[in-house]
Amino acid sequence: MANDSRSERERLKEEYKAHYRKMREIKERASRVKRTQSIASALKNMDKTEMLNSFDDFLYSVKHKLASVEARLDLAMDSLVDEGEKNISEQEMDEEMRKSKAKDTLRQVKLEMGLLYNEIEEQANNIKVNKTIGRNSSALSDRPDNKLEDE
């Protein structure tokens, strides 16, 4: 009988736990629904004209600042161009740009060639090859006329 009452108590305990879990879940859903309803009503009751007016004011101020900055930039660019025209013609500026670009390219090529030359040197040192072009001291001694002094 003690086992029956104990098992009955455990069964009831599990039922209560399940019931309380369901209740807690329903309460959480109700609070979420209440929150979304309050947000929806707040958005519905919001004064849209005031918000649009403040947005328009903000947009106007941004456009005004942008126009002001662009005008100052144009003025500065014009003054730079005027100074440039006085000192250096456009052709000379292009020439200078080409020269600087050429120098940069040449420096880059030299850097790459230096790296390439080092790789070639390493490969040549690793390979034992007889020269086929040019003068080699052993090739001159093998010549029949042996004109080492004339050359």
| Amino acid (1-letter code) at residue 139 | A
CA distance 30 to 13: 26
| pLDDT number for residue 61 | 87
**R_g (Cα) of the chain, nearest Å:** 45
Cβ–Cβ < 8 Å for 55, 63: no
Which residues, given as ranges, of the chain have pLDDT below 50? 139, 146-151
Tell me the per-residue pLDDT of 54-98, one tens digit each, with 9 for 90 and over. Answer: 888 888 888 888 888 888 888 888 877 666 566 657 777 778 888
